Amino acid sequence: RYDTGDYEQVDPILGDASDFIHLARSAKRRGMELILDGVFSHTGIDSKYFNRFERYDAVGAYQSVASPYFDWYDFTDYPDQYAAWWGIYTLPAVRKENPAYQRFLLDAGTGVLPQWVQRGACGWRLDVVDELPMPLVCAMRKAIKHERADAALIGEVWEDASNKISYGALRSYCFGDSLDSVMNYPLRRAVIDFLTGVCGAGALARVILHQREVYPTPFYYSLMNLLGSHDRVRILNALSGYDRVGAIQLPREEAKKIRLSEAQLEDSKARYLLALKLLCALPGAPTVYYGDEMGMQGMADPWNRAPMAWDRGDAVHWHEVCTLLNHRRTTPVLQTGYLDIQVQDDDTLVIRRYFQNGLDVFGESQRGAEETTTICRRGSS
């Protein structure tokens, strides 16, 4: 069920559009917003648009050259040979420059992106955004913000988004005309390396300060600062050293058998809390991948995507995660305060957040504590 079947409908196993609208409204009443994950560089072969198995009423590109979706795809020997995402035949690549495809995504009122914002979504996370043309990404921004000014557009970018070069072109992701934010994988890597002894506090500080230097302030303060994701081993495994090349390339059945010992698990939980404490002290949006707050573990796909452990998690760990996030949520200076970092020693980073005369980094008047200091010392939580 991972591959896109119909961009405009909820997967029937989960409900329908009215259920989504109800979910969005219910979330909003609880102070939450929904951001959808959009995969627009390819579809599934079992989709309304390709329709390889004729499960949809629409005439798909695989069925007929007269299909309205035929020009979305690049066939080399019709119908069985076509460009596919990373060569995976079940994921036919879409011709992103195709005008009809772009209208399908963007048209006001009926386009996929604005349509879901109308239904209650607060934005989109763009999968493999570097495979989308920059003009299309900019148009996506305009399309969703036309519906809702505060709608967010977040990109899956694994490197420095200020100088990302993809397919021979420099991508301008952070200058206010395309993305609002990116997934901060470089910071994730630096935090894990620091907590597992691969690097010292100085190296971590350099990564943080480099990002502050190269990103415009609004973009820097909007970074999606993550520790776990569906594309990496679970963070508890990573903090036990299981995200290195040899471990993540284990055969699936071998990876399935890997379980942390009690000692490893407790050590990783302590490291995770310190990592989250660090993210909560930094500018950007601290992000928790589902299940990490419950102490879930697992190697690479599919073991990092197991069902949520609603009633099997560590209640103490969950409470400590909630405490950190609530402190961040209720402390304005941690959200928009200025940043100062000091390396106390190889194991210790001191993060100071502060207002200047009651004003935050954006010049807005703020209440609450004028200053707060967070000490991140590895080996403690």
Catalytic residues: 127, 156
Q: Say which residues have a Cβ less than 8 Å from residue 362's Cβ, sequence separation at least 6.
A: 217, 218, 336
Q: Which of 133, 127, 124 is nearest to 157 (CA)?
A: 127
Biggest CA-to-CA distance, the chain: 68
Query: CA 10 from chain center: how many Å?
Result: 21
Q: Where are the beta strands (DSSP E) in 201-293?
A: 224-226, 285-287
Sheet holding 371-377, edge to edge: 338-345, 348-354, 371-377
Work out the number of other CB atoms within 10 angstroms of the CB of residue 177: 12
Q: What angle do CA 94, 147, 4 make, to 5 degrees?
A: 30
Beta bridge partners of 170: 165
For 89, what's the count of Cα atoms within 13 Å in the CB-facing half-sphere? Answer: 5
